[in-house]
Amino acid sequence: MSKIVLIGAGSHVFSRHLITDILTYPELRDNTITLMDIDEKPLDFITAFAQRIVKQYGFGTKIESTTDRQQALEGADYVFVTIRVGDRNNSPDDRKIITKYGVEGSPDTVGAGGVFYGLRNGQVILDICHDMEKLCPEAWLMNYTNPMSIISWAVSDYTKIKNVGLCHSVPNTAAQLAKYMGVPYNEVSYWVAGINHMAWFLELKRQGKDAYPLLREKFKDPAVYSGKETDNWQVPDIVRAEVFKNFGYYVTESSMHMGTYVPYFKKRQELIKKFKLAEPSAAQLEEPRRQQDDELHQQLTADYKFPLVHSGEYGSIIINSLETGRPSRINGNVKNNHLITNLPEGCCVEVPCLIDKQGIHPCFVGDLPPQLAALNRTNINVHEMAVRGIAEKDKTKLFQAALLDPLTAAILTIDEIREMVDELFKANKKYLKGYK
């Protein structure tokens, strides 16, 4: 019997999906699921859900719950991490500081916001891995916490733990492309590689034939991609359409994210308006989460039968293949050990991975088209300096990471970036113990 641990289990959306996904596999139902969070209230909430769904279906799954991280990790076989350091109300408001300087960027994946989000989350995840080295050294770490590339790179270089970073942007984008083309999702296949949130559909096929000509034909009508997206940002997909038209391949993640990773779309207010990239407020982002929490609370207080429907997240798919030997393929974030040959060796890349009982096997990709590799490298520069800064607790390297961000550099001078980063250091003072 295996022990599956969820660190940050109070993240209800992820935890609910992961628990349900595990239980959809008959072979995984007799395992132990250990839920851990430092906040007892959301932990109790998700524990009640887990106990309810196990009881409803009469499964033999053992549900454990604890606020003690080391107790949770003792003897673990699989460890999911879905943490956010600092609660939503009291964590530093990096977005407010960055926006004050005229940079409207995603606060948790790239740019100065991503660097400092990585500082807070990355330090704790490295601590989790060091605990794992003592308590469950053979366990797999499956990380869902952003910034994915920075954290995965740090774990690979500074710990001994087997790990893979997981993100749903590849299958979500594939489903959206099927909608754009007006074809069933189950007729679409793909080969995707690059870096997290900036991976590329190197092949897009429908029933074995190249589907890019169909997508290009559809995109001659801007109405196809100018409606509301179906992701949490709820913005038109104009940026990704522009990148596709000019660089030749479709990118994963949303237009809101992609607009932040390159210098073309968010450096002036008229461009933000043109490409419909005005960011939603914190309250707007929080509202769907609040509604989901309210819905789950109502379901738990009523006699609601929770359905056993797989969410499509990769985590349980990986465990099932490792446990049963039944092969599967996912896109994972892993160390670039000669996988993408025109990206820096050792960086974090997102590539197809085959999984069986012997482990997770990243696939060789070779060279990306040079224009795509060039775009990836501009963000890998930021990742590398952030990783070194976080692991070595070096403020200078973190400042240099912000200097190298394409969008930040398109808007601010060196002195302005230094001033902004100094403000971010002050706001994050409680997380800087030991920094030089």
Report the pLDDT value the prediction gives residue 282, as an integer from 0 to 100.
63
Q: How many Å apart are CA 162 and CA 334, to the nearest integer?
A: 10
The residue to which tokens 């295996």 are assigned: 2
The domain of 133 spans: 3-165
Residue 287: per-residue pLDDT = 73
In a domain, 25, yes or no: yes
Given a cut of 90, is residue 109 above it in pLDDT? no
Assigned domain for 408 exists: no
Q: Can you tell me the mean pLDDT for 406-415?
A: 97
- Check the CA dihedral 97-100-102-104 and report its sign: positive
| Residue 27: band (very low, low, confident or very high) from pLDDT cuts 50, 70, 90 | very high
Residue 199's Cβ-side half-sphere holds a number of Cα atoms within 13 Å equal to: 34
Q: What is the pLDDT of residue 155?
A: 98
Higher pLDDT, 221 or 13: 221
Q: Give me the pLDDT at residue 11, please.
A: 84
Average pLDDT (36-53) is: 95
Residue 107: predicted pLDDT:
63
Residue closest to 46 by CA, chosen among 295, 286, 296, 308: 296
Which is more confident, 294 or 126? 126
Assess whether pLDDT exceeds 90 at residue 122. yes
DSSP states of 93-132 as a string?
-HHHHHHHTT----TTTSHHHHHHHHHHHHHHHHHHHHHH
Nearest to 229 by CA among 239, 218, 242, 215: 239
In the chain, pLDDT over 90 holds for what percent of residues?
Answer: 84
Is pLDDT at 92 greater than 80 in this prediction? Answer: no
Q: What is the pLDDT of residue 273?
A: 92
pLDDT at 233 over 80: no
168 catalytic per annotation:
yes
Catalytic, out of 12, 17, 168, 257: 168
Question: CA 185: distance to chain centroid?
Answer: 22
Exposed/middle/buried for residue 228 (C-beta within 10 Å: 0-12, 13-18, 19+): exposed
Does residue 217 lie in a domain region? no
Q: What total number of domains does the chain contain?
A: 1
Residues 6 or more apart from 68 whose CB is under 8 A from it? 36
Nearest Cα residue to 175 out of 257, 252, 290: 252
Give the pLDDT mean for 52-66. Answer: 97
Q: Note the pLDDT of residue 110.
A: 86
Q: CA-to-CA distance for 169 and 287, rounded, in angstroms?
A: 22
Query: For residue 238, which of 113, 229, 164 has the smallest C-alpha distance?
Result: 229
In this predicted structure, the answer to whether residue 228 has a pLDDT above a threshold of 70 is no
Determine the average pLDDT of the residues in 274-283: 77
Query: What is the average pLDDT across 115-134?
Result: 97
The residue to which tokens 């807070």 are assigned: 120
Look at residue 35 and tell me if it is in a domain. Answer: yes
In a domain, 148, yes or no: yes
Residue 156's pLDDT is what?
Answer: 98
Residue 145 is which amino acid? T
- Find tokens 């994915």 and name the residue: 148
Q: For residues 127-142, give the mean pLDDT.
A: 98
In a domain, 376, yes or no: no
Distance of CA 291 to the CA centre of its chain: 22
Asked whether residue 298 carries a pLDDT value surpassing 80, the answer given is yes
Q: What is the CATH number of the domain that holds 26?
A: 3.40.50.720
Residue 55 CB neighbours (<10 A) = 11
pLDDT digits (tens, 9 = 90+) for 367-410: 999 999 999 999 999 999 999 999 999 999 999 999 999 999 99
Of the candidates 108, 15, 114, 8, the residue with the CA atom closest to the CA atom of residue 67: 8
Q: What is the pLDDT of residue 280?
A: 67
Question: What does the pLDDT read at residue 347?
Answer: 98
Query: Which candidate, 93, 97, 116, 83, places its Cα nearest to that of 405?
Result: 116
8 Å CB contact between 3 and 31: yes
pLDDT score recorded for residue 284: 67
What confidence tier does 205 reach under pLDDT thresholds 50, 70, 90? Answer: very high
Give the count of beta carbons closer than 10 Å to the beta carbon of residue 91: 16
- Residue range 246-275: mean pLDDT, rounded: 94
In a domain, 154, yes or no: yes
- Can you give the pLDDT at residue 184? 97
Q: Is position 222 within any domain?
A: no
